[in-house]
Structure 1
Amino acid sequence: MDWMAWTWPTAAFFIIIGCTLTVFTVLAIKFPETPRKGVLQIETTRGDRLFITLLGSAFINLAWLGLVGANQPYALIVCFAYALAVFRWV
């Protein structure tokens, strides 16, 4: 890990993202899906909803950091709730 001066949390983040993309690829191959319309009235697939979730979670964490500044793990709870809502209703 010294070659880029990464911390273990940073490496874990990218490992989890890589594993998530791998799982979604396998799911797309084994269980093809048709796009569905949700609350936003746009057609989305699993991958689209994953992208919306990751992008929204980044903004949630930035806003949390700017407004609260501490207790960042609580932002993770908000991100999980947001992810559940996106995968359920978007």
Structure 2
Amino acid sequence: MAWTLPTALFFMTITGLLIVFSYLALRFPERPRMGVLRFETTRGDRLFVTLLGSAFINLAWLGLVGANQPYALILCLLYAAAIFRWA
């Protein structure tokens, strides 16, 4: 894998998210909740589902459209907002 600036930013973002979510879990513990996914989820579960879904959205976008990848990012952000709100 080529260590370019976008690759480094990606891994720094994931690391930052893990640090923030670890802090939130320690500072503000939460109970699992039932959402539209029909299984109990915590913040960390929803983060995992969001990251996994975003990977599939980007792969599908790349395979179907092939260009204008920033639009896929917008779609991923909308997906993440929906998962954290309703799941």
Which category of TM-score, normalised to the shorter sequence, fits these structures? Answer: over 0.9
User: Unaligned stretches of 5+ in structure 1?
Assistant: none
Output the TM-score relative to the length of structure 2. Answer: 0.97
Sequence identity (%): 74
Structure with the greater alpha carbon radius of gyration: 1
Aligned partner letter, 1:32: P
Q: CA RMSD in A?
A: 0.9
Show the counterpart of 2:42.
45
How do residues 1-90 of structure 1 correspond to structure 2 at under 5 angstroms? 5-90=2-87
Q: How far is the alpha carbon of 1:41 from its aligned partner?
A: 1.8
1:35-74 CA distance string (max 9 Å, x none)? 0000122100000000000000000000000000000000
Number of residue pairs the alignment of both structures matches: 87
Q: How far is the alpha carbon of 1:9 from its aligned partner?
A: 0.3
State the SS of the aligned residue for 1:50.
helix
Aligned partner letter, 2:51: L
Q: How far is the alpha carbon of 1:85 from its aligned partner?
A: 0.5
State the SS of the aligned residue for 1:32.
coil
Distance 2:23 2:5 in 1: 27
State the SS of the aligned residue for 1:39.
coil
State the SS of the aligned residue for 1:88.
helix
Aligned partner letter, 1:79: C
Distance 1:41 1:69 in 2: 33
